[in-house]
Amino acid sequence: MNILSAIIVFENLHEVRRLCHWGPIIALTVIAVCSSMAILDSIIWYWPLDTTGGSINFIMLINWTVLILYNYFNAMFVGPGYIPLGWKPENQQDTMYLQFCRVCQGYKAPRSHHCRKCNRCVMKMDHHCPWINNCCGHLNHAYFTTFLLLAPLGCTHAAFIFIMTMYTQLFSRLKTDYNRISFAARRIHHPIMPFSVASFAATLFALGLALGTTIAVGMLFFIQIKVIMRNKTSIEVWIEEKAKDRIQYYQTGEEFIFPYDLGSRWENFKQVFTWSGTPEGDGIEWPVNEKCHQHTLTIEQLKQKADKRVRSVQYRVVENYNGACCPLRKGFNTFLRTPCTEEPRIQLSKGETIFATRGTKWWMYGDKVLDEEQTKAAVRVRGWFPRRCVEKCLYDSANNTSASEEKKDK
């Protein structure tokens, strides 16, 4: 019903456009190929109307497809849930513990993050998934994780059917005496369409897709379930690691306790999975550890943001860059070592200023310094760019002194 309501209701028709993206197109194509070939091969190998086992095999195959598509479309169309535009906490004093989103013109609630792809602040954002062309967050985390579980199981079943079909069909052609054919081959039903060379090639291709999906999606499931059991998101795992690095770097003697780990894997599990399919809570306030409070994590985020400003380095652009993902004219190593991420690349022009916050040997990531009008309009240009296109600016003694003093104060 959630899927139908999202499609039928007029104001939600724009959500159907999520299907027009390379991620859902590839994902649905893989599901369609594996499911259709498994159905055809199961008819060839184990005719469902002849035996009880064949009927059970066929029904299970249909169930896998239905359940996979149900959770996939729910993850896509139900969505993660978004913080209302212009949101502010009921207690105005709490704003000092929260980050302000210039795009949404409101404060970021605890556990929420702004997604550049969705252009909204997402409740309990885990990541933006290109395969569903949507974010994985508070409302659809259970659907997404269930999809990650069911897809490998369904593909494993389909792969078994593919292997048995190819084995029985090829083995039967090598035997001239029908009485000596193996047990599996004796169950072969004369199919409506013969198992030709084209059928063998299509089955082999589907087998490759099924095995690849089982491995890749299965790994993602184990990563997700490990995070869920600690009541974290992928972003919060990164925040916790940075918190430990910050405390160790500045030797502050603090003890950072992740506030949303309730101390029990079962209690953490129930924060995502419920019988109704809808998680508990409003996506803004969360149950926390007894040693923490609602803004423990947001305060840590503000500290990391301040530390990021201190440790950022100013660079001046000395070479133009058109923003290409894999630039051919910026060196062979720059072309080959392009960052494997969906984060954007930014165009550079000579004379511009960049504040770099991280980087690799061949690429850097940072914010472009904009003029006053762009800053007031909440414009922010940040992303990756080749390291060879910039050179480090020389700081005066005043800047160096202030930076070192701020480091000591921390």
210 and 243 belong to one structural domain: no
How many CA atoms does the CB half-sphere of 16 hold within 13 Å?
Answer: 10
- The domain of 331 spans 312-409
| Domain containing residue 342: CATH number | 2.30.30.40
pLDDT tens readout for residues 90-124: 999 999 999 999 889 999 999 999 998 899 999 99
Which of 176, 198, 228 marks a domain boundary?
228
Residue 389 maps to a domain: yes
From the number of C-beta atoms within 10 Å of its C-beta (0-12, 13-18, 19+), residue 65 rates as buried
Which of 253, 280, 305 marks a domain boundary?
305
As averages over each run of 10 residues, the pLDDT of the chain (410 residues) reads 48 76 95 94 83 90 96 95 95 94 94 93 95 95 97 96 87 54 46 70 95 96 96 94 91 91 94 90 93 94 91 93 90 90 89 91 92 76 93 61 41
Q: What is the pLDDT of residue 45?
A: 81
* Number of structural domains in the chain: 3
Non-local CB neighbours of 133 within 8 Å, separated by 6+ positions: 18, 19, 21, 23, 24, 76
209 and 245 belong to one structural domain: no
60 and 162 belong to one structural domain: yes
Catalytic one among 115, 129, 136, 155? 129
129 in catalytic set? yes
Which of 172, 202, 228 marks a domain boundary?
228
φ, ψ of residue 106 to 5 degrees: the values are -155, 175
Residue 109 maps to a domain: no
What three-state secondary structure class fits 393?
A: coil
Q: What is the pLDDT of residue 183?
A: 46
Residue 171 maps to a domain: yes
343 and 396 belong to one structural domain: yes
Strands 134-136 and 106-107: unpaired
268 and 295 belong to one structural domain: yes
62 and 157 belong to one structural domain: yes
pTM: 0.83
9 and 144 belong to one structural domain: yes
Task: Give the residue from 240, 234, 256 showing the smallest Cα distance to 124.
Answer: 234
Residue 248 maps to a domain: yes
Rounded-to-integer distance, Cα 236 and Cα 291, Å? 18
Rounded-to-integer distance, Cα 233 and Cα 192, Å? 50
Q: What is the pLDDT of residue 12?
A: 58
Residue 99 maps to a domain: no
151 and 204 belong to one structural domain: yes
- Report DSSP letters for 230-272, one per residue: TT--HHHHHHHHHHHHHHHHHT-------TT--S-HHHHHHTT
Residue 94 maps to a domain: no
DSSP H or E segment with residue 372: helix 372-376
pLDDT tens readout for residues 250-264: 888 888 999 999 999
- Report DSSP letters for 123-176, one per residue: TT--EEETTTTEEE-TTTHHHHHHHHHHHHHHHHHHHHHHHHHHHHHHHHHH-S
Residue 111 maps to a domain: no
Q: What is the pLDDT of residue 193?
A: 53
69 and 151 belong to one structural domain: yes
- Joined together, the tokens standing for residue 121 give 């602040």
